[in-house]
Amino acid sequence: MIKQISSFLLLFLFTLSACGDGSEKNTPETPLAEQVVNASTDFGGLALYTLRDTLAGDPKGVLKKVADTGYKYIEAAGYKDGKFYGMMPTEFKDYLAEVGLTPVSSHHGDITIETADKVVADLKEAGFEYLVIPVPPMGAFSYDPVTKILGMNQSIETVMGNINAIAQKCADGGIKCLYHNHDFEFKAGEDSIVPIDYFLENSDPAILNFQMDLYWVTKAGADPVDYFNRYPGRFKAWHVKDMDDQGRFAPVGEGNIDFKRILAAREKSGMEFYLVEQDMCFNHTALEAIAISHKGLKEIGFE
């Protein structure tokens, strides 16, 4: 099962590719990025998935740039063989502290019920508070490279059972668990069930809550605020990413998502932290994009 989900994720990653196709690896900070960095103060979080290609070459150097850009905390997406970006949990925690970053959450697409205890223990050692299940786990995530459609290939009952079991493992180990959405969870399947509604209604908020990706909710044609009103307090984290006029990922503030309206409903949602994320970049390198997004956060009113 691990191999199966890994294959799906690898296919998904290679198809999306990292922001700027990794071209920023040997590209110095541009004047624009430097201007944004100099104007910013330390606040907000960054999902490191945005910088996945860059991190692969120089994790410590890139993490330092994240801190210098003004971000205060991070969400990891680079755990393998008991290490975070090639660093043992304690080393990773210590280095983040050295550069002024706090580990808050970590995505684990290949997690299973069997591996959860080890992952949770490593997260605790590294100082994380949340484990995030980023896709339907244990082989249930599907991606069609032709249609670019994301989805599930197992029954909703099976997927929910596995998510709840992993969440219970997290709770037993002292880590909080969130489920992260894409667009398909907000669309009714052939059984007329809307997956996210089913997940919300068939999970215990003491064990499992949710990380709302504001881009993907919007992409699905759903309204984040409507979900905050229907399920108050369940969305403990947000992924903040914008959408351009072509429906593509964009830096925060350069798209058309009404973040001010969404932010006004923060208390209703239960949001405790938020993270900039951009799956792909089109007009900027990844490092430029995160700098522009940080400036956009401040202008919108994020703290």
Q: Per residue of the chain (303 residues), give pLDDT as tens.
A: 433 344 444 434 433 444 644 334 333 343 433 433 344 479 999 999 999 999 999 999 999 999 999 999 999 999 999 999 999 999 999 999 999 999 999 999 999 999 999 999 999 999 999 999 999 999 999 999 999 999 999 999 999 999 999 999 999 999 999 999 999 999 998 899 999 999 999 999 999 999 999 999 999 999 999 999 999 999 999 999 999 999 999 999 999 999 999 999 999 999 999 999 999 999 899 999 999 999 999 999 998
**If we measure between CA atoms, which residue out of 222, 221, 224, 220 comes closest to residue 240?**
224
Q: Is residue 182 part of a domain?
A: no
Helix, coil or strand: residue 255: coil
- The pLDDT of residue 19 is 60
- The pLDDT of residue 10 is 40
**Cα–Cα dist 14/68, whole Å:** 28
Kind and range of the H or E run holding 212: strand 208-213
Contact 122, 89 (CB under 8 A): yes
Q: Is residue 156 part of a domain?
A: no
Q: Which domain holds residue 70?
A: 2-127+214-300
Q: Is residue 251 part of a domain?
A: yes
Q: Which two tokens stand for residue 300?
A: 């919108």
Domain count, the chain: 1
Q: Is residue 277 part of a domain?
A: yes
Q: Is residue 185 part of a domain?
A: no
**The whole model's pTM is what?**
0.88
Q: Is residue 143 part of a domain?
A: no
Q: Is residue 196 part of a domain?
A: no
- Report the CATH number at residue 40: 3.20.20.150
Q: Is residue 141 part of a domain?
A: no
**If we measure between CA atoms, which residue out of 120, 99, 112, 105 comes closest to residue 139?**
112
